[in-house]
Amino acid sequence: MRNTTLCHIEKDGKYLMLHRVKKQNDLNHDKWVGIGGKFEDKESPEECVLREVKEETGLSLNSHSYCGIVTFVSDIWETEYMHIFHSDDFSGTVKECDEGNLEWVEIKKLYDLPIWEGDKIFFKLIEEKAPFFSLKLEYQGDTLINAVLNGEKI
């Protein structure tokens, strides 16, 4: 089991997204994802998201909101707890990322890009400013087979 963070950084109706095209054996290869990564030893979710955003983008989050936790279950990959954040208050200049290409993408156009099917669920929750959520997503390969929001199948 692993813990990760994911931050949706917003500016002018766009999210800063990472098109994952540079790493070998990447479970997110060719997908568009938010900014984040794996916890280091003894890190809290907040410490991890601040570090990962800075490392991957060069940006510093001035403030952020902790939106929810997503439990990913897969028949291929290990179980993952992803802590979801959102920020529209940041400083700095976007730098090149060694994991893929960073690009500001209109939020409404995200749904047309190659993203994980379950990501559409938490995008909508963030857009709707839903209260803190727990979302469980179960995959067989790349196919979403089950989604449970706050204990209720959706």
> From CA 108, how far away is CA 145, in angstroms rounded?
24
Task: For residue 111, give the CATH number of its domain.
Answer: 3.90.79.10
Q: Is 13 exposed, middle or buried (0-12, 13-18, 19+ CB in 10 A)?
A: exposed
Q: Which range marks the domain in which residue 118 is found?
A: 2-153
What pLDDT is stored for residue 20 in this prediction? 80
pLDDT in tens, 95-154: 999 889 999 999 999 999 999 999 999 999 999 999 999 999 999 998 999 999 999 999
Query: What does the alpha-carbon distance between residue 59 and residue 93 come to, in Å, rounded to a whole number?
Result: 6
Beta bridge partners of 6: 36, 84
Q: Where residue 24 falls among pLDDT bands split at 50, 70, 90?
A: low
Q: What is the mean pLDDT of residues 8-33?
A: 83
pTM: 0.94
What is the torsion angle, in degrees rounded to the nearest 10, for the CA atoms of residue 72, residue 104, residue 106 and residue 125? 30
Specify the number of domains making up the chain. 1
